[in-house]
Structure 1
Amino acid sequence: MLGILFTIISNIFVIIPAQLVRIAIDYVVESFTFYRVIEGLELSASARSSFLQYILIFGVLILVMALLRGFFLFLIRQTIIIMSRLIEYDMKNEIFDHYQKLPLSFYRRNSTGDLMARITEDVSRVRMYLGPAIMYGLNLLILFPMVIGYMLSVNVELTIYSLLPLPILSISIYFVNNLINERSEKIQRSLSSLSTFVQEAFSGIRVLKAFVREEDSSNEFEKASVDYKDKSIRLTVVQALFYPVILALIGISTILTVYIGGIQVIEGTIGYGVIAEFILYVNMLTWPVTSLGWVTSIVQRAAASQTRINEFLDEKNDIQSTENLEVAIQGNVAFEDVSFVYPNSGIQALKHVSFTIDAGQSLAIIGTTGSGKSTIANLLMRMYDVSSGKITIDDRPIQQYDLASLRKQIGFVPQDVFLFSDSISNNIAFGMDTMELPQVEQAAKDADVYNNIIDFPNGFETKLGERGITLSGGQKQRVSIARAIAKEPSILLLDDCLSAVDTKTENAILSALKRIMQQRTSIIISHRVSSAKLADKIIVLDDGQIVEHGTHESLLDAKGVYAELFEKQTQQPETIED
């Protein structure tokens, strides 16, 4: 509302100077005629002084009007543009917050690039509509009636002729702007492909060099660069038309104004000042009319972007708590006839799986790749809900627990380790409400990574990621284990987290974890039989079904799948990684 008010006031200060210019020019013409009559007489000196004084007053008034208009233009931007920035801020926060509330299935369906595009590019396009488009649109709606109404009140014929080229200008700008937008988007896609290609080439530089494919890679890059160059040149050609079209049509308006106005001056129907006034009005209307095509294009793009944003905002998380229980978990876990089908792919990962773990017990889940081991971890943390059957924790259905409370009490070590670009201490303390360094150090010792960390120049404050140190696969997994332990969870869930460490390190970690595992329910998921040695109970999965269960000794005696896996893995040397 303030933006509208300031726009009206600023446009008043646009129109008044044009009127002052008309009055000043007519005054100069009339005064000059009078001055020539009395030139050489005693009155001429005082007349000249009065004449110059009035001209100075007109100049000061026009300057004051310009300054006032500038001040209100500043206020317009301080209201409308800042408003659009605040809405952009709110939208980005809302979308990001909504993203984090959506289930894992949502992220499996949508690419990271698409998620990023909607929270950055699409939100920016909506902001352009809420800011510049509304500002220039308002200016057009307010200025046009004011200026044209006044022009018609002064001279109808001159108004019609001077405004004739403006509709052609607006339509031309609309089409040229659409071409610019279309070609700009093609350039963006080409640049995105180019960036992706470069990123992959540099990330996989070791493989490129090993297979001597540098020349082929350079040729492919050159092709992508040529495509980007050609599209950029095509855009430049269109942009080169933009200003000549505007200047040509403004020039035609000016010529028509001067020509028709000149005829009327000769006929004595108007004064010289009216021509100057109308030229100023034409120039006032030029940018609003030019912006009409640009604003229309922004509105169309914003509408498309808002539709894309709404697609994700309308997504619902079907994983909800029924009772929002926030209670301490003891750790009694039971799967009762659980089956699960992944919603996107339709793959049945689990078939009628049943097992129980008492509080403080440890369970190992052994199976080959694709047997459904990680699915059990996802279901236990309610990343997904079961297709059929029931999961209970402490004899309560898992759906009754508050999601955040449930997940806070589960220490999860994922198969694919992810560490943030932050200090090692902050990574380990990631799940803790407040960081306690002694607790962080103890977790690092339990995960057998403490000695590695203190060997780094900055110890626990060593930065990880691109600008910091890069850990080996085994070190990453041990830091990830320390992160899970540090939050002192009721349930410890290790999802094939020892796959990147050698046998010696694995034994060291398992030995260190033995004390931790005695105090809480622990689930060790692995395809390696050696990881199951510390578990009280073992189940063997194959194609989503439990084919064997028991203790390490009883399963070896049964000489079934577990015994066969044990024999194969103990006969083959372990792969040792740095």
Structure 2
Amino acid sequence: MNEQFTVVANDSKEKNIDLARIQALFFPLMVLLIGLSNILVLYIGGKQAAEGIIEVGVIPEFLIYVNMLTWPVAVVGWVTNMVQQAAASQKRVNEFLDINPAIQNMVETDTPVTGNITFDHVNFVYEDTNIQALKDVSFTIEAGKTLAILGKTGSGKSTILELIGRLYDVTDGNIIVDDYPIKDLNLDRLRQAIGYVPQDAFLFSDTIGNNIAFGKKDASKDEIIEAAKNAVVHKNIIDFTKDYDTVLGERGITLSGGQKQRVSIARAIIKKPQILLFDDCLSAVDTETEEKILNNLKKVTENTTTIIVSHRVSSAKNADQIIVLDEGRVVENGNHDSLIKNNGYYAELYTNQMMEDDR
């Protein structure tokens, strides 16, 4: 990979050097030709004027004509250069646009989604790195229930969410959604049924209201405010001079990390999806705000299948089911009380985090 990159980079460098060399010669050469044409007009016109063939006033006329013609011709050269550069760029863009997605929609008919999800001995390997992210993962979550996934960094938590959204297909095993293999569901319908909140929230350079309404195109102002209140970000928004009409900077730079995450949560819940996926999206908020958000989510997601990926036990303890991953395997599965009694990784994590909160 490094050798290929070096070859491509060196080839690009050589071509850019050649381009710079040609451009460096082009402008001085053009000025030289303009000067020579003026000298020729003066020389030939002067001789003919001296011989009485033309009048002296004809010489400046020709000089004006020559200069009027020279610059349009020069512009043609510049435009030709720009067109060639644009053509090269367009070629690269077309190569990207012509790529067929690895994940194809296998079903054209509509397939409604209610939210029952089963992982049946799922294994998954990332093709580009050959890293096995999931190893024989099995669990079931009923529609309308909440599943929390805990584990160390790199244990495969986010991979589970990506597989539910069918950003990848499993290497081995099956994912069953509403009694159908996930490949037998209409891909567009599946993704429309999912509300996804990433850890690194992406916000557009637009108003806060439009960023929230992105989850539901025909959302009313009341729905936007209600979603913001449930995400516990309404009070922060109305503190701005233009409240919901405040225009955010690129990628939401106007907001803090916690505010961006909460706006992203509001955007996901406003569409009222059948499945909600939270990928450690409460990492930048304090525990008090987190508790308020989780209590609100419990109300608004009463009939929604919710999967919460987190490093905090506080985000997971009220879930109907909790699984703990370690190196891609499910090492613990149960609810809060049963896992505390198991005295395993979950219980240890709970004890450590409670001790930190007491300090």
Matched, 1:246 2:33: yes
Q: Could you tell me which of 396, 401, 405 is aligned with 2:185?
A: 401
The residue aligned with 1:431 is: 215
Structure 1 contact 180–239 (Cα < 8 Å) conserved: no
The change in CA–CA distance for 1:566 and 1:183 in structure 2 (over 3 A counts) is farther
Give a deviation string over 1:352-376, Cα, whole Å, max 9, x none. Answer: 2221111111111111111111111
The residue aligned with 2:226 is: 442
Structure with more of its chain in strand, by fraction: 2
Structure ranking higher on relative contact order (CA contacts 8 Å, 6+ apart) = 2
- Aligned to 2:357, what secondary structure does the other structure show? coil
Say which one has the larger Rg: 1
CA positional deviation for 1:484: 1.1
The change in CA–CA distance for 1:245 and 1:319 in structure 2 (over 3 A counts) is same
- Aligned to 1:344, what secondary structure does the other structure show? coil
Structure 1 CA distance for aligned equivalents of residues 79 and 314 of structure 2: 66
Whichever residue aligns with residue 258 of structure 2, its letter is G
Structure 2 contact 107–187 (Cα < 8 Å) conserved: no
Structure 2 CA distance for aligned equivalents of residues 307 and 574 of structure 1: 60
Give a deviation string over 1:478-525, Cα, whole Å, max 9, x none. Answer: 222121111111111111111111111111111111122321111011
Structure 2 contact 324–330 (Cα < 8 Å) conserved: yes
Give a deviation string over 1:86-142, Cα, whole Å, max 9, x none. Answer: xxxxxxxxxxxxxxxxxxxxxxxxxxxxxxxxxxxxxxxxxxxxxxxxxxxxxxxxx
The residue aligned with 1:216 is: none
Whichever residue aligns with residue 178 of structure 2, its letter is D
Structure 1 CA distance for aligned equivalents of residues 350 and 211 of structure 2: 35
Give a deviation string over 1:303-340, Cα, whole Å, max 9, x none. Answer: 53343233323322121110134333111111222222
Unpaired runs of 5+ residues, structure 2, are 1-15
Structure 1 CA distance for aligned equivalents of residues 35 and 17 of structure 2: 19
Q: TM-score normalized by structure 2?
A: 0.80
Structure 1 contact 503–574 (Cα < 8 Å) conserved: no
Matched, 1:343 2:181: no
The residue aligned with 1:522 is: 306
Matched, 1:506 2:290: yes
Equivalences for 1:302-451 in 2 at 5 Å? 302-451=86-235
- Aligned to 1:566, what secondary structure does the other structure show? helix
Unpaired runs of 5+ residues, structure 1, are 1-177, 186-234
CA positional deviation for 1:184: 9.9
Equivalences for 1:160-309 in 2 at 5 Å? 181-182=19-20, 241-251=28-38, 254=41, 283=66, 297-298=81-82, 300-309=84-93
The residue aligned with 2:248 is: 464
Whichever residue aligns with residue 391 of structure 1, its letter is I
Structure 2 CA distance for aligned equivalents of residues 491 and 179 of structure 1: 53
The residue aligned with 2:350 is: 566
Structure 1 CA distance for aligned equivalents of residues 182 and 290 of structure 2: 32
Whichever residue aligns with residue 356 of structure 2, its letter is Q
Give a deviation string over 1:26-48, Cα, whole Å, max 9, x none. Answer: xxxxxxxxxxxxxxxxxxxxxxx
The change in CA–CA distance for 1:256 and 1:295 in structure 2 (over 3 A counts) is farther
Structure 1 contact 413–481 (Cα < 8 Å) conserved: yes
Whichever residue aligns with residue 182 of structure 1, its letter is A
Structure 1 CA distance for aligned equivalents of residues 18 and 37 of structure 2: 21
Equivalences for 1:117-132 in 2 at 5 Å? none
Give a deviation string over 1:448-506, Cα, whole Å, max 9, x none. Answer: 2233334444333333337x993333232222212111111111111111111111111
Percent identical = 53
CA positional deviation for 1:430: 1.3
Q: How many residues are matched?
A: 339
Structure 2 CA distance for aligned equivalents of residues 544 and 260 of structure 1: 92
Structure 1 CA distance for aligned equivalents of residues 315 and 358 of structure 2: 13
Structure 1 CA distance for aligned equivalents of residues 246 and 77 of structure 2: 54
- Aligned to 1:572, what secondary structure does the other structure show? helix
Structure 2 contact 30–74 (Cα < 8 Å) conserved: no
- Aligned to 1:573, what secondary structure does the other structure show? helix
Structure 1 CA distance for aligned equivalents of residues 256 and 45 of structure 2: 78
Structure 1 CA distance for aligned equivalents of residues 153 and 358 of structure 2: 18
The change in CA–CA distance for 1:297 and 1:385 in structure 2 (over 3 A counts) is same
- Aligned to 2:149, what secondary structure does the other structure show? strand
Whichever residue aligns with residue 470 of structure 1, its letter is T
Matched, 1:473 2:311: no
Structure 2 CA distance for aligned equivalents of residues 385 and 366 of structure 1: 22
Structure with more of its chain in helix, by fraction: 1
Structure 2 CA distance for aligned equivalents of residues 413 and 506 of structure 1: 15
Whichever residue aligns with residue 360 of structure 1, its letter is G
- Aligned to 2:122, what secondary structure does the other structure show? strand
Structure 2 contact 149–322 (Cα < 8 Å) conserved: yes
- Aligned to 1:506, what secondary structure does the other structure show? helix
Give a deviation string over 1:394-413, Cα, whole Å, max 9, x none. Answer: 12222233333222211111
Structure 1 contact 381–406 (Cα < 8 Å) conserved: yes
Structure 1 CA distance for aligned equivalents of residues 262 and 135 of structure 2: 32
Structure 2 CA distance for aligned equivalents of residues 292 and 528 of structure 1: 64
The residue aligned with 2:270 is: 486
CA positional deviation for 1:527: 1.2
Q: TM-score normalized by structure 1?
A: 0.52
Structure 1 contact 250–286 (Cα < 8 Å) conserved: no
The change in CA–CA distance for 1:431 and 1:355 in structure 2 (over 3 A counts) is same
The residue aligned with 1:550 is: 334
The Cα RMSD (Å) is: 3.7
Structure 2 contact 148–307 (Cα < 8 Å) conserved: yes
Structure 1 contact 431–487 (Cα < 8 Å) conserved: yes
Give a deviation string over 1:236-269, Cα, whole Å, max 9, x none. Answer: xx6762444112442465478669999xx99xxx
